[in-house]
Amino acid sequence: MASATQLPGPMEVSGNAAADTAKCQAQFELGTTLSLFLWPSLTLAVQNNWGGPDSADKREWFAQTTIDVLTETPDADIDTEWLETFLLQVMLDEFEVNVDDESGFEVAEQILRIRKLCE
Q: What is the domain partition of the chain in residue ranges?
A: 18-116
Query: Does position 16 have pLDDT exceeding 80, yes or no?
Result: no
pLDDT of residue 100: 96
Task: Write the pLDDT tens digit of every residue in 86-117.
Answer: 999 999 999 999 999 999 999 999 999 999 98
Please provide the average confidence, as pLDDT, over all residues in the chain. Answer: 89
Cβ partners under 8 Å of residue 36, min gap 6: 42, 59, 62, 63, 66, 87, 107, 111
Query: Does position 12 have pLDDT exceeding 50, yes or no?
Result: no
23-49 average pLDDT score: 97
pLDDT band at 54; cut points 50, 70, 90:
very high
CA distances from 77 to 38, 74, 82, 107, 110 (A): 26, 6, 9, 18, 17
Query: Does position 1 have pLDDT exceeding 50, yes or no?
Result: no
